């Protein structure tokens, strides 16, 4: 079986005006599809390595050295975008509630502090990458950025929430103003989904199960 592009859980124009329809179409059908296609091509000669993308990213060091970087780039591109689509939603709650809200308050003081830290990290990150909210193995939360398509899964962390920092995710609408893009994204953050991932992590120690692909 092959890796496939997941359908968006909403229409391409559903996140307007925060993310414009054209950006969503090019990002999903163009960029994300290309990572899926490249991953299939790289792993075509390696049927035993055609594992769920999260598993590939969790065990990069065990992959053959000659394909490791390409797998990281394209499995990461596939997994990171799949998560990104899922933690966005039109008309969603503006702030988290329940257990994830309590955890954010405990580790960052309050939601506003978390938002500021997340936007600061996302703004100062140089060049392409992603800004993440992750669960550490000890149950604490952390904000971090990764380069290119590197995944926190490769560091043993569980991603809960993410924003894409590549220019292709905001340049058509915001041009060079990445801080404006990041500030606007809070009105389309899917906190119920982030909360579900946190509760899954608390119960099972691993929150990505639903997004693993059946192969
Ligand atoms: Mn992208």
Tell me how far the alpha carbon of residue 84 lies from the centroid of ligand 1, in angstroms. Answer: 9
Q: Provide the domain count of the chain.
A: 1
Which residue range is the domain that position 93 belongs to? 19-215
Q: Give residue-wise pLDDT tens across range 198-210.
A: 999 998 875 444 4
Q: Is residue 61 part of a domain?
A: yes
Tell me how far the alpha carbon of residue 196 lies from the centroid of ligand 1, in angstroms. Answer: 23
Q: Is residue 6 part of a domain?
A: no
Look up residue 170 and give its DSSP letter: T
Mean pLDDT within 58-65: 94
Tell me how far the alpha carbon of residue 145 lies from the centroid of ligand 1, in angstroms. Answer: 14
The CATH code of the domain that includes 66 is 3.55.40.20
* Structure tokens, 182: 């990041």
Q: Give residue-wise pLDDT tens across range 145-203.
A: 999 999 999 999 999 999 999 999 999 999 999 999 999 999 999 999 999 999 999 98
Q: Is residue 78 part of a domain?
A: yes
Sign of CA dihedral 154, 127, 172, 90: positive
Percent of the chain's residues with pLDDT above 70:
95
Q: What is the pTM of this model?
A: 0.94
Tell me how far the alpha carbon of residue 106 lies from the centroid of ligand 1, in angstroms. Answer: 31
Q: Which residues contact 79 (CB under 8 A, 6 or more apart)?
A: 53, 54, 57, 151, 153, 208, 211
Tell me how far the alpha carbon of residue 153 lies from the centroid of ligand 1, in angstroms. Answer: 18
Q: Is residue 12 part of a domain?
A: no
Q: Is residue 4 part of a domain?
A: no
Q: Is residue 2 part of a domain?
A: no
Tell me how far the alpha carbon of residue 79 lies from the centroid of ligand 1, in angstroms. Answer: 11
Q: Is residue 5 part of a domain?
A: no
Q: Is residue 46 part of a domain?
A: yes
Tell me how far the alpha carbon of residue 50 lies from the centroid of ligand 1, in angstroms. Answer: 23
């Amino acid at each position: 079986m092959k890796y496939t592009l997941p359908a968006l859980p909403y229409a391409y124009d559903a996140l307007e005006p925060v993310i414009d329809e054209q950006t969503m179409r090019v990002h999903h059908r163009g960029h994300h599809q290309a990572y899926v296609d490249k991953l299939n091509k790289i792993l075509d000669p390696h049927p035993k390595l055609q594992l769920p993308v999260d598993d590939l990213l969790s065990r990069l060091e065990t992959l053959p050295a000659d394909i490791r970087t390409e797998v990281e780039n394209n499995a990461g591109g596939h997994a990171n975008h799949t998560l990104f689509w899922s933690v966005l939603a039109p008309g969603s709650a503006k702030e988290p509630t329940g257990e994830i809200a309590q955890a954010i308050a405990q580790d960052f003081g309050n939601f506003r502090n978390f938002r500021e830290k997340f936007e600061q990290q996302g703004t100062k990150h140089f060049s392409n990458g992603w800004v993440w909210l992750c669960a550490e193995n000890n149950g604490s939360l952390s904000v971090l950025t990764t380069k290119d398509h590197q995944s926190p899964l490769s560091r043993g962390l569980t991603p809960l929430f993410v924003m894409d920092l590549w220019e292709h995710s905001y340049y058509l609408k915001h041009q060079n103003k990445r801080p404006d893009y990041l500030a606007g994204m809070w009105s389309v953050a899917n906190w119920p989904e982030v909360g579900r991932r946190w509760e899954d992590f608390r119960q099972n120690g691993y929150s990505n199960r639903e997004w693993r692909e059946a192969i």
